[in-house]
Amino acid sequence: MSQPNLALGDPNRLAVSDQTCINTIRTLAIDAVQQANSGHPGAPMGLAPVVYSLWQRFLRYDPADPTWPNRDRFVLSAGHASMLLYATLHLAGVRSVNAKGEISNDLAVSMDEIKRFRQIGSKTPGHPESHLTTGVETTTGPLGQGAGNSVGMAIASKWLADNFNRPGFDIFNFNVYAICGDGDLMEGVASEAASLAGHLKLPNLCWIYDNNRVTLDGPAEWSFSEDVITRFKGYGWNVTHVTDANDLDMLARGYDNFLKCKDRPTLIVVDSHIGYGSPHKQDSYEAHGEPLGEAEVKLVKKNYGWPEDAKFLVPDGVYEQFKNGVGKRGAEARAAWKAPKMPSFWSPMASTNSSRTALESVEPRPAPRGKQNTRSTRNSFRSKPIN
Ligand SMILES: Cc1ncc(C[n+]2csc(CCOP(=O)(O)OP(=O)(O)O)c2C)c(N)n1
Ligand SMILES: [Mg+2]
């Protein structure tokens, strides 16, 4: 097969600018894995539209301030797809934050770091590490771990809201999104965490299940045949199904469904194609854990309408597209969050421009009887630098 499988959808059928951005994420992942001669190109190729849609249209995240305490959290539980995250952080222009919590003008993931994927000492290790790379909200790689952590983050959002929000003044209302693969959903830790999330009815938690029917060494059906949708309904989750990962409108309806659901967590099952656009490796485990190979890379790029010999190409307008999407929306959301709606309450923050000061200036609500709110409890929820 040397032509794209049109039954799966023409890879170039979306609006030009969106499609170009999506294919930029895909080809950066492909090129980085090929150059490192190691890594996982398949999941980034399948999931690029899913993550692009989320970041560009829904995620409340300001790339200019990755320390904003009320930012939505994005967790890549499928940590082996790390290039998906690195490419997105790069294109979105997320700034680097140093160990003191200071934001610099440097990118969290520069193009040089993408070219150094999986090299010793780089900010782009094979699996994302939160202490190394700004924008990586939690270290992932052991399957299920990010899914579990995302439940903790969603609980934290609710705890912070309960302690610090005042009527008409929502300091904390961030959402948590986690991308989970088949391997994540096979793990016990993810099941336990999902059960707790359902029990707690966490409406601020959205898991996106990459239903690509393939795992590390073969079809998922060899080892995984449970009815995921029914299982999550049993946990008390809201479940919705996006049957084409390349359909941005359907994805948007999936995310809207999550945002409208106010009484339980949401699972968005997304049918995708690992190695999307690869003539010989799409829908195969061969796209999972090894480079596509130089010859196949050229065929994939041809299918994407990409210059076949270009490497690490970011076409004109792609950075601007991200800037005008997640960049603009995130900056506006953060600015609105800092607006002095209640000047007397807000003044410590306004005078120092420090979110930490704002948190310290607010006394938590009294704890229920028998559960004293100690200073150490408060300390544990103060904002910490993200490296
Ligand atoms: C706890 C744990 N067990 C095993 C692995 C090794 N491993 C990495 S990816 C993978 C398969 C994941 O399959 P899936 O989630 O479907 O990813 P896809 O191939 O679709 O990208 C496995 C078993 C791991 N990372 N963590
Ligand atoms: Mg899979």
Model confidence band, residue 101 (pLDDT cutoffs 50, 70, 90) = very high
Nearest bound ligand to the CA of residue 143: 1
User: Which H/E stretch holds residue 294?
Assistant: helix 294-304
Q: What is the pLDDT of residues 318-332, one digit of tens each?
A: 999 999 999 999 999
Per residue in 47-74, pLDDT (tens digit) is: 999 999 999 999 999 999 999 999 999 9
Take atom 18 of ligand 1 and give the residue whose Cα is closest: 215
CA distance 304 to 43: 16
Per the listing, tokens 């950066």 go with 28
Q: Residue 239 contacts by C-beta under 8 Å, 6 or more apart in sequence?
A: 229, 232, 233, 266, 267, 269
Assess whether pLDDT exceeds 50 at residue 384: no
C-alpha 199 to ligand 1 mean position (Å): 27
Ligand nearest to the CA of 288: 1
Q: How confident is the model at residue 339 (pLDDT cuts 50, 70, 90)?
A: low
How much is the pLDDT for 169? Answer: 87
Look up residue 80 and give its DSSP letter: G
| Confidence check: pLDDT of 95 > 70 | yes
Q: Is the pLDDT of residue 298 over 60?
A: yes
Q: Of the bound ligands, which one is closest to the alpha carbon of residue 142?
A: 1
**Within 6 Å (CB) of ligand 1, which residues are found?**
42-43, 78, 80-81, 141-143, 181-184, 187, 210, 212, 214-216, 220, 274, 288
Using only the alpha carbons of the chain, give its radius of gyration: 21
Residue 191 CA, ligand 1 centroid: distance in Å? 16
Cα(218) to ligand 2 centroid in Å equals 9
Question: What separation in Å is there between the alpha carbon of 135 and the centre of ligand 2?
Answer: 24
Residue nearest to atom 21 of ligand 1 (CA): 43
Please state the atom number of ligand 1 nearest to the C-alpha of residue 81.
Answer: 21
Confidence check: pLDDT of 362 > 70: no
**pTM (two decimals):** 0.88
Q: What is the atom index within ligand 1 of the atom nearest the CA of 142? A: 26
> At what angle are helices 188-200 and 228-235 packed, to 10 degrees?
40
Q: Which residues neighbour ligand 2 (ion) by CB within 5 Å? A: 181-182, 212, 214
Ligand closest to 47 (CA) is: 1
Tell me if 62 sits within 8 A of 330, measured CB to CB.
yes
Share of the chain above pLDDT 70, in %: 83
